[in-house]
Amino acid sequence: MKAKAAKRAQRSEITAVYADLRGNICEAEGVRGMGRIGSSNLPLRPDDLIPLPESADLMFMPDHLATGQGADGTEKRIAGTAVAAILPQGYTRTHLPAFDRMEGAAPLPLYGYTAVVSHRGQLCVAAVYTDENEKWDPANYNGKELKKLVRRTMKELPHNRIVEQVGNCSLNYHCLTAQNLFYRRWECGVPTSPVCNANCLGCISLQSSECCPSPQERITFSPTPEEIAEVGIYHLSIAPDGIISFGQGCEGEPSLAADRIAEGIRRIRAVTQRGQINMNSNAGFPAGMRKIVDAGLDSLRVSIISARDESYDAYYRASYPLDNVKESLRYALDHGVYVSLNLLHFPGFTDRVEELAAWQEFFRVLPVQMIQMRNLNIDPTIFLQTMPQAEGAPVGTRGFMEALHAEFPQLVIGSFSHYVND
């Protein structure tokens, strides 16, 4: 009986995991699982964990040794590579993987690394479920018929460079918003701008040589208003809950293409009032933003990492100040646009006390309707080396969201763009 009880107790422990030389994921027997907040490795508790989502991926962290907590309560380096979970949309990580970075380690690829451990005999992650939207379930994408659907749309809209671009993004990069054009449903990406006014540390389409490789290529052309309108009319006229979105991962800043986008919107609305016209933007170019809003923009999602000037500038490295973003948001809100923030979240940074205080002041002045918690895809060490030093201890991801919800109960905290057009 004692042996069985001991075995049950052992299985209930939170155990660190690692990857061996053959790539097998193993439990580090007798070593408690830890997670990382900022630059600190901390023991994980049962209420920090949820089962590994079915559509999550597991990934090794090269040149990063796994770590855990030994029986004596001290941090213990494990002779194996750290393992991370890459979460599907809808889940917000609360802890990074615990690791010990080896000297001279190469930059990690751009992924949202999440702590993964073993608990009660199954793999679990340090995360919370923040939004439910079946439209973004990976099971709805990358079907066997996709190539056929891409060819069908290319025949129906021949010589349209946007269609060619998103066809490539669908088949080679597996972009979900790109695929929706060919599935004739929901939110469809319409890339428009090959240039940008920021040089984001975590940009997924263009990186400077000192950082990590970008996972996809940026568009190299400027679509005409006719091309924009052709795709917009096609999609909005037939797609259920149809949305077209400017500002995709394969482009720069769409507001820099304001004249072409505004004319495209006017041409679309001259033909159909169906569906929703959205833009994903850094909102740093107010003059362009005003043109697009005035042309008939329905919703706006603004990528942002901080409400503090020094933090914002360190990450975006932009040609505009944070005040420009606030000016654009004010104009959009005043003109009836549904505004959400794509909040780039990093445990141990976003939830610092000074960051939270800045966000509370931000929302008192700019009452946006929604924030979308988005796990920041970046090498944790490079990110923290770039951002300002912390002034206060973090309150935790849950504490951050709870504090915002308590003061701003009308603020939707989720993960996805919602269909808001009546």
pLDDT in tens, 114-131: 999 999 989 999 999 998
Q: What is the mean pLDDT of residues 409-415?
A: 93
**Domain boundaries along the sequence of the chain:** 2-129, 134-414
Q: Residue 283 region, left (φ>0) first, then alpha (ψ -120 to 50), else beta?
A: left
Percent of the chain with pLDDT over 90: 85
**Strand (E) positions, 226-369?**
243-246, 276-281, 299-304, 338-345
Given the DSSP bridges, would you call strands 122-129 and 187-189 parallel, antiparallel or unpaired?
unpaired
pLDDT in tens, 256-291: 999 999 999 999 999 999 999 999 999 999 999 999
CA distances from 143 to 147, 152, 223 (A): 9, 15, 28
| Average pLDDT over the chain, rounded to an integer | 92
Closest to 305 in 3D by CA, of 247, 365, 372, 401: 372
Residue 421 pLDDT: 58
- Give CA–CA dist 137/132, Å, rounded: 9
Residue 2 pLDDT: 32
Q: Using CA of residue 324, residue 328, residue 334, residue 338, what is the dihedral sign?
A: negative
- Give CA–CA dist 169/156, Å, rounded: 18
pTM of the model: 0.91
How many CA atoms lie within 13 Å of 81's alpha carbon, on the beta-carbon side? 16
User: pLDDT-derived band of residue 9, with 50, 70 and 90 as boundaries?
Assistant: very low
Q: Report the top-level CATH class of 134-414.
A: alpha beta
Phi, psi of 11 (to 5 degrees): -70, -25
Q: How many other C-beta atoms are found inside a 10 Å radius of the C-beta of residue 59? A: 19
The position carrying tokens 């608990």 is 119
Q: Which letter does DSSP use for residue 104 in this model?
A: T
pLDDT in tens, 360-394: 999 999 999 999 999 999 999 999 999 999 998 99
